[in-house]
Structure 1
Amino acid sequence: MKNIYTYGGQPAKRNLTVACMQANKAAGIKMTQVSAANLEEAEVLERLGIDMITIADVDIVAVRQAAPTTFVTGSQTMVQYMNEDEALAAAIKCAEQGADAIYTPRGLKTVERLSAEGLCVQGHLGLVPRLSTRVGGLRIIGKTADEAMRLFEDFKRLEDAGAVAAEVECVATEALVEINKKTSLVTHSIGAGSGGDIIFSFMEDICGDVESPPRHAKAWADMLTIRKALSAEREKGLTGFRDAVKDGSFPDKAHSVAMPQQEHEKFCELLDKWSPLHQ
């Protein structure tokens, strides 16, 4: 564990720092990163020793509570913040609340703006799904030497903008292997083979909770079948409740509390004798 101060000025302990990741990169030590969407998922990731957690930046408080020592990256979306000022304000808030790095899929100006304030910034290279129309759709990037060279140049531009890391998505394995030797960026591979420093995958893909997973995803569990079974049981229960209420079979005597007969008769007599005090 490393002793640190957060961007918000609070003393804390972390399993990794950026310097640790850079040292692991140099030594060829692979690291793991998984997404978390809530407190429960974050807790199990820390307990099982996943090296890094990536989250939506708005979930930082709950996730940091559940995973107090794991390196956490707060992610911004493409359309969440409209300009560099908004992205910077949100990034500072997220870091103040305990995020160790900020992911942005936006352009180099946003990366420069965030990194200029001392934030650890992660960019996105290779296939950026929300920009896929620019590259002809969802496909592997860097299968040709010329395209791999253009990708390498993107790496160098991201470095120059001040980023410390990059999510590298759907890139030909050999391209990332060679680029990774010549970049200072800590690379997070998702669908880009084993050449990255960090192997990143989404919680739902790992746990088999996706109807049509991407080709690069591998599941080690089958939560989808369980979730479907739970959904079917929920529907069975709700249908039974609805029908029983409609046909009058619920609530029945077994699920009701009755008055003693003598008390019931006495109550009815009192009701019959009752009259308003003021008429």
Structure 2
Amino acid sequence: MVAKSTRPTVADIRAMKSRGQKISMLYVTSLDEAAAADAAGVDMLSIEGRFFSPEMREAAGRCFVQVGLPYGPAGNLVTAEDYLKTAYHFMRIGGDCFYCAASLDIQKALCDNAVPVVAHVGLIPSQCTWTGGFKAVGRTADSARAVWDHVKRLEAIGCFGAELEVVPDRVAELITGSTPMIMLGMGAGPHADAQYLFSEDVLGHTSGHKPRHAKTYRNFAAEYERLQHERIAAYREFIADVQTGAYPEPQHVVQITDDEFFTFRTALRL
């Protein structure tokens, strides 16, 4: 008999929206981050396909996991069949929903096969050349209407949700309240269904640009720097021990009895 999973389902996440319950969501890349998110009680995780594995699924525990399907040629996914095969692969591992920023027809093919699809609206990093680069989207009436229309197209094909990235809070509020989809807000104000941050921002070790919406709760950068200094110091001590003969010590060496060694040497006639 197969044990019933204790982690949330698509229906559970939808029920959270209907109750007005705010959803916490983190992007993670390591087993330690996934396990910490589970222990802390984070609702949803975003994990790119390149990081997702049975071990990562186990580490994520009760978290509802969104698996990112690699976009376009970079992930060797081009056709709807490519995306569907990849989604099924990650579904077998234990993915709960699947991020897809491909074309509407590909997203629809996934939806038509009962794959829970999370699309992307607003600032879409992989397509931001069309909206002027890495900047807010929806700050004019026309731009906001384009985001709204995009959401409605996704809604019509049966998407489960969409990442709503860097749009004005009032636009996000209106969209979130007017769609059954789960709106995963990243820099979209307090009214999205979920608040979505990158773990590296939360832990304070972001490399490069730190977005406006990021909030840091710990300073891991300083800790990582300290650990790197300690790592280098330990390696130097190891080198010194090797050069002086301080390593290896007797406890690091495999022993052989005198009798066995004598027999060995005698057989070699040495």
- TM-score, with normalisation over the residues of structure 2? 0.85
**Which residue is 2:164 aligned to?**
168
2:231 paired with 1:239: no
**Which residue is 1:113 aligned to?**
109
Alpha-carbon displacement from aligned partner over 1:48-70 (angstroms, at most 9, x marks no partner)? 11111121234141122223432
**Which residue is 2:245 aligned to?**
251
Alpha-carbon displacement from aligned partner over 1:215-234 (angstroms, at most 9, x marks no partner)? 21101011111001111221
**Which residue is 1:224 aligned to?**
221
Structure-2 separation of matches of 1:35 and 1:60: 15
**Which residue is 2:256 aligned to?**
none
From 87, 90, 96, give the equivalent of 1:94: 90
What is the aligned residue count?
A: 253
**Which residue is 2:70 aligned to?**
77
Structure-1 separation of matches of 2:249 and 2:116: 61
Please say if residues 60 and 99 of structure 1, whose CA atoms lie closer than 8 Å, have aligned partners that are also in contact: no
Structure-1 separation of matches of 2:28 and 2:56: 8
Alpha-carbon displacement from aligned partner over 1:1-33 (angstroms, at most 9, x marks no partner)? xxxxxxxx9653244222222222223210111
Q: CA deviation at 1:136?
A: 1.2
Question: Alpha carbons of 1:241 and 1:63: their partners in 2 closer, same or farther (altered >3 Å)?
Answer: closer
Q: CA deviation at 1:75?
A: 1.0
Please say if residues 14 and 71 of structure 1, whose CA atoms lie closer than 8 Å, have aligned partners that are also in contact: no
Structure-1 separation of matches of 2:190 and 2:2: 36
Alpha-carbon displacement from aligned partner over 1:238-276 (angstroms, at most 9, x marks no partner)? 23444665xx4x223x8644xxxxxxxxxxxxx9xx9x8
Please say if residues 124 and 166 of structure 1, whose CA atoms lie closer than 8 Å, have aligned partners that are also in contact: yes
Q: CA deviation at 1:112?
A: 0.6
1:1-279 mapped onto 2 (5 Å cutoff)? 11-58=3-50, 59-78=52-71, 79-80=74-75, 81-212=77-208, 213-242=210-239, 245=242, 248=243, 250-252=244-246, 256-257=249-250
Please say if residues 167 and 187 of structure 1, whose CA atoms lie closer than 8 Å, have aligned partners that are also in contact: yes
Structure-1 separation of matches of 2:149 and 2:48: 28
Q: Identity percentage over the alignment?
A: 27
Question: Alpha carbons of 1:160 and 1:106: their partners in 2 closer, same or farther (altered >3 Å)?
Answer: same
Structure-2 separation of matches of 1:10 and 1:93: 20
Structure-1 separation of matches of 2:249 and 2:96: 55
Letter in 2 for 1:66: A
- TM-score, with normalisation over the residues of structure 1? 0.82
Structure-2 separation of matches of 1:20 and 1:178: 23
Structure-1 separation of matches of 2:90 and 2:109: 15
DSSP 3-state at the match of 2:67: strand
Q: CA deviation at 1:126?
A: 0.7
Which structure 2 segments of 5+ residues have no match?
251-264
* Structure exhibiting the larger radius of gyration computed from Cα positions: 1
Alpha-carbon displacement from aligned partner over 1:184-209 (angstroms, at most 9, x marks no partner)? 21100011111210111111111111
Please say if residues 170 and 190 of structure 1, whose CA atoms lie closer than 8 Å, have aligned partners that are also in contact: yes
206-215 or 106-115, larger mean C-alpha shift: 206-215
Letter in 1 for 2:81: D
Which structure 1 segments of 5+ residues have no match?
1-8, 258-270
Please say if residues 24 and 30 of structure 1, whose CA atoms lie closer than 8 Å, have aligned partners that are also in contact: yes
Letter in 1 for 2:207: E
Please say if residues 34 and 59 of structure 2, whose CA atoms lie closer than 8 Å, have aligned partners that are also in contact: yes
